Amino acid sequence: MSDLLEVILVGLACFVGGYIALAGLLRRIPIPWRPQIPFRSDPIPPAWYDVLDRRVPLARDLASTERERLLRLAQVFVAEKHFEGCAGLAVTEEMKMTIAAEACLLLLHLDGPCYPTLRTVLIYPHAFIAKHVLRGQTGIAQEAIPLRGESWRDGVVVISWDDVVCGARDAADGSNVVLHEFAHQLDQEDGATDGAPLLSSTALRTWGRVLAAEYERLREDAAAGRPSVLDAYGATNKAEFFAVATESFFERPVQLEREHPELYQQLQQFYGQDPARRAAPDLASPPSPGAP
């Protein structure tokens, strides 16, 4: 029986690995042959327009065609992904739509499927204590620091609803847990969590050079206590740097472009968006103290 179980587990691991690799290839296929998101034919629920206006201020400056596409993307997301409340939280349609719309803002001008490796979104009412199975042992390890969110490589995003609301409310503070965790999902689509999303080989070389330089710059700034448009948490590793840079790209684009033009250009090319050009005056943050 143990041999059979081992064979089943190995087979399952191969299947999951193959699926992740295939999903990663989907965004590298030339555009005419790339599978597109199967938008639904049923109308967008009228209440969603109000939720978008109230809950997702980053969407207010989108063109009307972009807003419609964002809602269509969110519609696919809500239909395809499983949402589950934790710690007694009852998940509402408004919660689903808010998270879906913010997550799909990253996909607005990307080709390919809608977070193909993501299956489940777990929502806690507040910051939560993460639990992890101890590899090679029995029992569960529990981290002591409350978290706003987590992104797992096996198709799960865990998120705090309080932090979703707070992060969306101030669209110019450079802190947005949904953008952060779903940037991790994009990073993980090729099976690696390394700060490099799916790019062509040419674009990947340039991104690698810029990422390395900007990551080291943030590490130096963080160590010296110098303020930056990029959250110091991005100095943890390159995966966190990409997620933090994504937050600043969408929430503080004018300042990011001014202080980190090469980084901004790389993010602009990847996401196919130029938020600094559409940023309303209240989204254009003042320079950081001591910024060059």
How do residues 58-92 score in pLDDT, each as one tens digit?
999 999 999 999 999 999 999 999 999 999 999 99
Which residue from 167, 149, 159, 163 is spatially nearest to 85, judged by alpha carbons? 159
Question: What proportions of the chain, in percent to the nearest 5, are helix, strand and coil?
Answer: 55, 10, 35
- pLDDT value at position 93? 97
Q: Are 153 and 194 in contact (CB under 8 A)?
A: no
Question: What average pLDDT does range 210-237 have in this prediction?
Answer: 96
- State the average pLDDT over residues 115-130: 92
* pLDDT over 60 (residue 281): no
What is the average per-residue pLDDT within 183-196?
Answer: 92
pLDDT(128) > 90: no
The β-bridge partners of 186 are none
pLDDT greater than 70 at residue 123: yes
What local confidence, expressed as pLDDT, does residue 8 receive?
45
Give per-residue burial for 167-196: e unless 16+ CB within 10 Å, then b. bbeebbebbbbbbbbbbbbbbbbbbebebb
pLDDT value of position 75: 96
pLDDT at 279: 67
pLDDT at residue 202 in the model: 86
pLDDT over threshold 60, residue 56? yes
- Top mean pLDDT of 17-26, 32-41, 247-256, 281-290 is at 247-256
Residue 191 is predicted with a pLDDT of 84
Name the strand (E) or helix (H) holding 182.
helix 177-188
Element (H, E) at 82: strand 82-85
Cα–Cα distance, 225 to 223 (Å, whole number): 6
Mean pLDDT of 222-226: 96
Question: Which pLDDT value is given to residue 172?
Answer: 84
Is pLDDT above 60 for 100? yes
What's the burial of 113, exposed, middle or buried (CB within 10 Å: 0-12/13-18/19+)? buried
* pTM of the predicted structure, to 2 decimals: 0.80
Read off the pLDDT of each residue in 93-105 and give the average, rounded to a whole number.
97
